[in-house]
Chains A and B, each alone.
Chain A
Amino acid sequence: MTAPTHASARSEGPGWVPQPGVSEPSVGMNVELDTGDMVLNLGPQHPATHGTLRLVIRLDGERVLTADPVIGYMHRGYEKLTEFRTYPQVTTLINRIDWLSSFANEVPFMDAAERLMGIEAPPRAQWIRTTLTELSRIATFLLFLGEMGLQVGALTPAFYGFRDREHVLNLIEAATGGRFHPNFNRIGGLKDDLPWGWIAETRATMKIVLDACDQFEDLVLGNEIFGARTRGIGIIPSDVGTAYGVSGSNLRASGVDWDLRRDARPYLAYPDLDFKVWTHPDGDSYSRYWVRLQETREAARMVLQCLEGMPAGPIMAKVPRIIKVPEGEVWVETENPLGQMAYYVVSKGATGPFRVKIRSASFSNVSILPWLLQGVFVPDVITILASLYFILGDIDR
């Protein structure tokens, strides 16, 4: 076994070979090093970008001068496609906007169609919708709680996050038949009732979720390194956040006490549930994690309340076989795991919508990046991206 050779002891190679158009390298010579800006291209495929987001970052040393997100790699043109679909067919598309919480995407669109038609889903359907929406929220947030650790260099929480989310996905699969794309909502109600034994199983799983939250609190929030990497990083002042349309947990972590489950026009069973809206005054990456952790707990408690208060009765209202939606337009917004999800639906009395404006949360949440990334250090870019927590399908639609 030979000892590794020190660089200075290595034999001289062929050395500099003159090439046309290439100047002689000046490294090692007594010249002033060029300290111009450097362009760092993060993505479109990069482990830190959760999909095909590209960030063109101009750097001065380790500091970000400008950051320009380039989106559209996953643009599927859903707003155009909805104009060529009937109302029940649209559900399949909107399942794929925010694919981590597909069920929650369906709810506002169904609500919009039902309001235009003047029908209302029966109470049991509303309560089941509420339960499954909150389960989607738990599944989405559990992944975040694990993944955020991964992004700042702690591998372990990611495994716990995926493991615990699996319990919740199993529940969603048992009830709807689909783990990711349930396609379970129908205009006027739901496809099926809950399966036998589901309520007992969900109760047991919520215990697991609440335990998992305690574990994440110890493992991640209690970790000194995590605190050092996230505290004071990526601070969004509340007025800047609202002007950019940042919503959901990201805005509540900036101290804005605004939750559409409580503050929007009443929808689903939320007026009957008792829950707390968590806010944090700091607005940094740490507080975004903290708020989502509290909201996961709150969602688990809400699921338990739903199971307790679940009314009996039918799960479908009486709707015509061929769904025609009367002329009109309606704005429906809901509090989805990633923030404000809303549809502006314009109907002309046909079997399909005339215009659907899809207002997705991640689009606005990410539009703040050019402002937010100015002047931060490169490692903090990753922390900020992770803490904003966006889904590419939710940006690109």
Chain B
Amino acid sequence: MHDELLALLKSAGFNGDAILETADAHGGLVVRVANAQWRRAAEVAKEHLACDYLSFISGIDWQPAPREGDEAGGDTSSPVQPTEMTFGAAGSAGRFQVFAHVQSTSKKWGLTFKSDVDDADPRVESWVPVYSGADWHERECWEMYGFTFDGHPGLRHLYLPFEFEGHPLRKDYPLLARVVKPWPGLVDVEPMPGEPDTDAPSEAATEAET
């Protein structure tokens, strides 16, 4: 099915510079397109791939999360993510990416588009002229990641109060609840009676297991 989708993209003239990379993410096709081709990707998907259905548009921040959990205190309740920046399927040029999933209700297939956006000025063309439903998804992405969607009829807050500052889903935005108070689940990591201490899910044990 992936080959068929890629062949259709190619026959629609959507190849070469437009597609940067493709990948198979556990059975799902991921196509990374050039930033300037973002809206054309939607148009091609709708016209030539029969993808009439917009599932979602959102963003990813690939920057490593601030290291959570206090190893000395044994608090490993917050998962510790890797400290170096790595990218997912189909790669990325920088920290921010916009991604979207479109599907076909008639052909029963779907694919994920990704596109890199600039770190300093995250900006991409809006999909609203192609899929009306992109409106709310792009408003959400704008407030959560700070991406600007050119051509959107009105980027304003969707979930958050209008005076809200910051972009909560960026990795450098702290989860305040965890900053002001340690995770109460800390007590759960005490060893069970009769178990050796090394079996407790401490950081050392987690790493020793792998």
Contact = CB atoms under 8 A, between A and B. Distances in A.
B132 A371 contact: yes
Nearest to A325: B79
A330 B25 contact: yes
A278 B55 CA distance: 21
Nearest to A83: B65
B28 interface: yes
Contact of A80 (B80, B132, B175, B205): B175
Interface in A316-362: 320-322, 324, 327-331, 333, 340, 342, 344, 346, 348-355, 357, 359
A328 B25 contact: yes
A364 B101 CA distance: 13
B54 interface: yes
Nearest to A256: B105
B175 A115 contact: no
A251 B79 CA distance: 39
Contacts of A243: 52-54, 131-133
B86 A329 contact: no
Interface string B152-195: 00000111110000001100010100100000010000000000
A71 B158 contact: yes
A72 to B, nearest CB: 4
Contacts of B185: 89
A244 B133 contact: yes
Nearest to A258: B105
Contacts of A368: 132-133
Q: Output the residue of A245, A265, A348, A363 with the most chain B CB within 10 A.
A: A245
Contact of B88 (A80, A81, A244, A329): A329
A350 B56 CA distance: 26
Contacts of A333: 55
A349 B160 contact: no
A324 B210 CA distance: 9
B27 interface: yes
A75 interface: yes
B101 A84 contact: no
A370 to B, nearest CB: 8
Contacts of B65: 83, 354
A350 B105 contact: no
A244 B53 CA distance: 7
A396 interface: yes
A315 to B, nearest CB: 23
A86 interface: yes
Nearest to B210: A324
B78 interface: yes
A80 B55 contact: no
Interface string B56-88: 101011000100100000001111111000101
A353 B78 CA distance: 11
Interface string A15-48: 0000000000000000000000000000000000
A265 B82 CA distance: 31
Interface string A221-257: 0000000000000000001101111110001000011
A80 B56 CA distance: 17
A346 to B, nearest CB: 5
Contacts of A328: 25-26, 88-89
A139 interface: no
A379 B55 CA distance: 31
B68 to A, nearest CB: 7
28 contacts: A71-B159, A72-B160, A77-B168, A79-B144, A80-B168, A84-B68, A240-B132, A242-B54, A243-B54, A243-B131, A246-B133, A247-B53, A258-B105, A322-B201, A328-B25, A328-B26, A328-B88, A328-B89, A331-B28, A331-B101, A342-B56, A344-B112, A349-B82, A354-B65, A357-B58, A364-B136, A367-B133, A367-B136
Interface of B: 25-28, 30, 52-56, 58, 60-61, 65, 68, 76-82, 86, 88-89, 99, 101, 105, 108, 112, 131-133, 135-136, 144, 157-161, 168-169, 173, 175, 178, 185, 201, 205-206, 209-210
Given A75-B159, A85-B79, 8 more contacts: A80-B168, A242-B52, A244-B132, A329-B30, A351-B76, A353-B79, A359-B101, A368-B133
